[in-house]
Amino acid sequence: MGLLSRLLNMPSFKGATNALLVELAIPELTETQRTQLKNRVVELIQTHRSSDLTPEAILLELNQTPRIFQLNVLALAMKELGHPSPLKKEKLQKVEDPFDPSHADEHALRAVARRLKWHYGVEVWLAEEPISFDSW
């Protein structure tokens, strides 16, 4: 249990867990939820990274960000807004920096995907294209 516990507490596993859980949640989000999440993401970025950027500039930059980081920012917003995880026994993880490159670790993503398949019977992987928040 010690090794598994240490692995699950690594930033790469936390980020991979968040990304895959949010990937599962996206198709189920209502238009109202998407709007709330988009607004919260802008607030989070203004508060913690770029307070001098307009919401439009933040969204433009975010639209060009790789999907893994977009999903981790959305996980942070979902957690703060109290949105439940799409899998009842899984929790969105607390990550210090949703843009941390360790979240894009392919080994961690594959390990988390295998764990979700084994525990819940769901297959999930990251979509290819970044999210376009303009269409939200």
For residue 46, which of 67, 79, 77, 81 has the smallest C-alpha distance? 77
48 within a domain of the structure (yes/no):
yes
Cβ neighbours of 119 (radius 10 Å)? 11
SS3 state at 87: coil
> What is the domain extent for residue 43?
2-127
pTM: 0.89
Burial class (CB in 10 A: 0-12, 13-18, 19+), 93: buried
39 within a domain of the structure (yes/no):
yes
Percent of the chain with pLDDT over 90: 76
Count of domains in the chain? Answer: 1
Question: Which pLDDT score is estimated for 132?
Answer: 95
Question: Which pLDDT score is estimated for 9?
Answer: 55
101 within a domain of the structure (yes/no):
yes
90 within a domain of the structure (yes/no):
yes
What mean pLDDT is predicted for residues 86-94?
Answer: 92
Q: Do 116 and 27 touch, CB atoms closer than 8 A? A: no
133 within a domain of the structure (yes/no):
no
Question: Which pLDDT score is estimated for 57?
Answer: 93
Distance CA 111, CA 75 (A): 19
pLDDT greater at residue 19 or residue 10: 19
61 within a domain of the structure (yes/no):
yes
Burial class (CB in 10 A: 0-12, 13-18, 19+), 72: buried
34 within a domain of the structure (yes/no):
yes
89 within a domain of the structure (yes/no):
yes
Cβ neighbours of 110 (radius 10 Å)? 12
